[in-house]
Amino acid sequence: MAEHPLVSRSLNRRSFLRGGVSAGALLGGAALLGGTGCSKANLTGNTLQRIQDEGTVRVGFAQELPYGYVDIEGDLVGESPDVARAVFERMGISDMEGKLTGFSGLIPALQAGYVDVVAAGMFITADRCAAVAFSEPDYCVEQALLVPAGNPMDLTDFGSVAESGATLGLLAGAFELEYATQAGVQEDDVLFVPDAASGFDNVSNGSVDAFALTSLSLRFLLQNRDEDAEEVGTGLQGSDIWVTDSFVPLFDGKPDKGCGGFAFRPDDEELRVEFNEHLVDIHETGEWLDIVAPYGFGEAELPDGRTTQDLCPDAEWL
């Protein structure tokens, strides 16, 4: 399969240093926190005042297209970084320094003070709300499956994966695991991968029967890997890989369209509150649609009316 034209799988040090992206952040989980040089000083005082004084904010991202990634020019781009950049500019913060980690390492990096905010399109869930504080929802999106051309196992959603006994690739640390297990997918049938590109590779080489991620992510990636891919329904059909029609999975027995937002440390209430004010305004004025259009987002991905309070009913920081 051809290399993705928007981002190299083997990003070098020069690429990371361009556009304010940290080369030292290419780690995951506990490993990221062990040798990064972060200190307790990052966890004391007023974070909002500090980043305004310094004019720089450190944001965590996970190299997931189109939510947050480094492009071939070495710049941090994507839906979440671009929206965050617009918000922080309104707050008088001109520079945004990207810190790359595996998806499962984003919350630990935030908790340890290595980053000030996570801008990675992270779903707002009750479990995560017990560990970090979230902005208001930035977008809501459906799911899809990546399958071999022809969809030989006729997979349409997590339930069909469970019923067929298909092997399923999942992004490590992503919420799709909850959807899959609640639908009956067995642990032995799941293969965790570090990034979406690896998910594509595993479907292509037959290591898994399907790879699950948001419909928008899979469509964006396939369109940029296969310029001849054709839209069919809400899916996308390439020469050797297809994206199925999008679907809304079940969670706790109810349809659950995932909503993503920006994560903060619970103690950074002033930062979160001011960020929220500008984020909501960007949505209400229509500026958000202009910012996110290059990444495939549109009116269908606008927040569906649920608030952070709705998604985090037991959060102590609300």
One domain, residues 234 and 134: no
2 within some domain:
no
Picking from 209, 234, 254, the residue at the C-terminal end of a domain is 254
Asked if 272 contacts 51 with a C-beta cutoff of 8 angstroms, the reply is no
The CATH number linked to 185 is: 3.40.190.10
Residue numbers of the domain that contains 210? 143-254
Choice among 35-44, 76-85, 248-257, 276-285 with the minimum mean pLDDT: 35-44
| pLDDT number for residue 58 | 98
Asked if 78 contacts 224 with a C-beta cutoff of 8 angstroms, the reply is no
| pLDDT number for residue 288 | 98
One domain, residues 136 and 263: yes
181 within some domain:
yes
Write the pLDDT tens digit of every residue in 83-96.
999 999 999 999 99
Read off the DSSP letter of residue 247.
B
One domain, residues 51 and 135: yes
What is the C-alpha to C-alpha distance for residues 164 and 217, in angstroms, rounded to an integer?
Answer: 24
One domain, residues 163 and 224: yes
How many other CB atoms are found less than 10 A from the CB of residue 66? 25
199 within some domain:
yes
Q: Using CB atoms within 10 A of its CB, is residue 236 exposed (0-12), middle (13-18) or buried (19+)?
A: buried
Write the pLDDT tens digit of every residue in 224-256.
899 999 999 999 999 999 999 999 999 999 999
One domain, residues 296 and 279: yes
- Give start and end residues of each alpha helix (H) in the chain: 13-17, 29-34, 47-54, 79-90, 106-111, 126-129, 158-164, 176-182, 196-204, 215-225, 269-285, 287-292, 308-311
What is the C-alpha to C-alpha distance for residues 37 and 183, in angstroms, rounded to an integer?
Answer: 42
One domain, residues 91 and 218: no
Integer distance in angstroms from the first to the last C-alpha of the chain? 46
One domain, residues 18 and 136: yes
Picking from 234, 254, 274, the residue at the C-terminal end of a domain is 254
One domain, residues 52 and 100: yes
What is the C-alpha to C-alpha distance for residues 237 and 147, in angstroms, rounded to an integer?
Answer: 10
Picking from 228, 254, 280, the residue at the C-terminal end of a domain is 254
Look-up of token digits 């869930």:
125
122 within some domain:
yes
Is the confidence at residue 42, as pLDDT, over 80? Answer: no
What is the model's pTM? 0.86
3-state secondary structure 198-243: HHHHHHHCCCCCEEEEEHHHHHHHHHHHCCCCEEECCEEECCCEEE
176 within some domain:
yes
One domain, residues 171 and 239: yes
5 within some domain:
no
- The total domain count for the chain is 2
Is the confidence at residue 3, as pLDDT, over 90? Answer: no
| pLDDT number for residue 44 | 65
